[in-house]
Amino acid sequence: MKPERLVDPNCEVGEGPIWHAHEQRLYWVDIVNGRLYRYDPTDDVHEQIHEQDVIGGVTVQADGSLLLFGDGGSIRRWYDGDVETLVESIDGEADSRFNDVIADPKGRVYGGTMPTEDRLGRLYRVDTDGSVTRVASGFNIPNGMGFTPDLDQLYVTDSNAHEIRAYDYDRETGSVSDPEVVVDVSGEAGIPDGMTVDAEGYIWSARWNGGCLVRYAPDGTEVERVDFPARKVSSVAFGDADLTTAYVTTANRDGRETEGDGAGALFALRPEADGREEFVSRVASE
pLDDT digit string (tens) for 6-32? Answer: 999 999 999 999 999 999 999 999 999
Active-site option among 150, 193, 227, 274: 193
- Distance of alpha carbon 116 from alpha carbon 258, whole angstroms: 27
pLDDT digit string (tens) for 200-210? Answer: 999 999 999 99
How large is the greatest C-alpha to C-alpha distance in the chain, in angstroms?
49
The reported pLDDT for the residue numbered 200 is 97
- Distance of alpha carbon 226 from alpha carbon 219, whole angstroms: 20
pLDDT digit string (tens) for 64-94? Answer: 999 999 999 999 999 999 999 999 999 999 9
Q: Are 76 and 84 in contact (CB under 8 A)?
A: yes
DSSP letter string over 8-36? ----SSEEEEEEETTTTEEEEEETTTTEE
Read off the amino acid at residue 23: E
| pTM for the predicted model, two decimal places | 0.97
Q: How many CB atoms lie within 10 A of CB 250?
A: 31
The reported pLDDT for the residue numbered 260 is 97
Instruction: Tell me if residue 261 is catalytic.
Output: no
| Average pLDDT value over all residues in the chain | 97
pLDDT band with cut points at 50, 70 and 90 for residue 177: very high
The reported pLDDT for the residue numbered 126 is 98
The reported pLDDT for the residue numbered 45 is 95
The strand pairing partners of 84, in sequence order, are: 77
Assign domain 4-269 to its CATH architecture.
6 Propeller (2.120)
pLDDT band with cut points at 50, 70 and 90 for residue 286: low
Predicted confidence (pLDDT) at residue 1 exceeds the cutoff of 90: no
Q: Are 83 and 73 in contact (CB under 8 A)?
A: no
